[in-house]
Amino acid sequence: MTTTDPKENGERQGIQSVETAMRVLLALESGGGALSLSAIAQASGMQPSKVHRYLVSLGRIGLTSQDPASGLYDFGATMRRMGAEALRRTNEVAVAGGHAMQLRDRTGHSVNLAVWGDRGPIVVSWAYGTRPLPLTVRVGATLPLLTSSVGQVFLAHLPESLTEEVLGGELRGKEAEWTGERLAAVRAQVREQGHVVTHSGVIPGIISVAAPVFAAGDPLPLAVSVVLPESLGTPEHLAEVTRELHSTVTAASHELGRLA
């Protein structure tokens, strides 16, 4: 008679449980936003009661979260941090992040680095400066295309086919304010100047100056932005910060093999 080691069975069951949990997470990811329990169950091909048990466990460790008002499920804080850290560890992000830290040291201002994700620009690092800010954006946060400096960098430099879905969502109800002519003008200005300056675009009282970093053979840029209080945003100081930013993104792009 063949016997089975209970420990071995337990290990196999544990691995299967991880794979099942991953089905739940992949179903949540495929929705492109917060989902109901029934929608996750349908996408994962599992019974709602089983999905709910996994969501409870995943929620306890921060991989998922549930909105108390709507009851919808989404990725949690731990998942956002893990995703941002995975992006940060890629070579291009590591190189640009090193230059961003030097920019922070030279200017004293906070500097963040963003990459393009399925739902828009994602903040993958935030180097805190010595200048106090009223609020900051957390690592893993997705920034708007229209009103953030890094968003406008991606809007200008990415193919429109990549940004059209995110842009379409942001434009709903704002078509009169953001006409096609205005969007074209923003894209052209960013490309011509090589940077973007926004005032209170995401956080009131904050100026953000952003510019792209390019790698050889990669059409998707990264965006570096310097963040400072409006009270320090004199024309002279903004010009100095912008020069330092241009120097930083040029050096980072050169290190990544960009020749021009």
Q: What is the pLDDT of residue 226?
A: 97
Establish if 118 belongs to a structural domain.
Answer: yes
Do 134 and 70 share a structural domain?
Answer: no
Q: What is the pLDDT of residue 119?
A: 86
Q: Block means of pLDDT (10 residues each) for the chain, length 260 residues?
A: 48 72 92 91 95 95 94 92 72 89 96 91 91 80 93 94 91 88 95 95 91 84 94 93 97 81
Q: What is the pLDDT of residue 203?
A: 86
Do 134 and 210 share a structural domain?
Answer: yes
Do 94 and 222 share a structural domain?
Answer: yes
Residue ending a domain, choose from 34, 50, 75: 75
Q: What is the pLDDT of residue 6?
A: 46
Do 145 and 69 share a structural domain?
Answer: no
Q: What is the pLDDT of residue 136?
A: 73
Q: What is the pLDDT of residue 163?
A: 92
Do 218 and 137 share a structural domain?
Answer: yes
What secondary structure, in 3-state letters, does the chain show? Answer: CCCCCHHHHHHHHHHHHHHHHHHHHHHHHHCCCCECHHHHHHHHCCCHHHHHHHHHHHHHCCCEEECCCCCCEEECHHHHHHHHHHHHCCHHHHHHHHHHHHHHHHHCCEEEEEEEECCEEEEEEEECCCCCCCCCCCCCCECCCCCCHHHHHHHHHCCHHHHHHHHHHHHCCCCCCCCHHHHHHHHHHHHHHCCEEEECCCCCCEEEEEEEEEECCEEEEEEEEEEEEHHHCCHHHHHHHHHHHHHHHHHHHHHCCCCC
Do 195 and 94 share a structural domain?
Answer: yes
Establish if 260 belongs to a structural domain.
Answer: no
Q: What is the pLDDT of residue 38?
A: 95
Do 201 and 97 share a structural domain?
Answer: yes
Do 226 and 103 share a structural domain?
Answer: yes
Q: 185 is in which domain, residue-wise?
A: 81-255
What's the predicted TM-score (pTM) here?
A: 0.68
Residue ending a domain, choose from 51, 75, 99: 75
Residue ending a domain, choose from 75, 100, 118: 75
Largest Cα–Cα distance of the chain, in whole Å?
85
Q: What is the pLDDT of residue 209?
A: 97
Do 231 and 132 share a structural domain?
Answer: yes
Establish if 1 belongs to a structural domain.
Answer: no
CATH number of the domain enclosing 173:
3.30.450.40
Do 86 and 41 share a structural domain?
Answer: no
Do 239 and 110 share a structural domain?
Answer: yes
How many Å apart are CA 103 and CA 100, to the nearest integer?
5
The domain tally of the chain equals 2
Do 102 and 170 share a structural domain?
Answer: yes
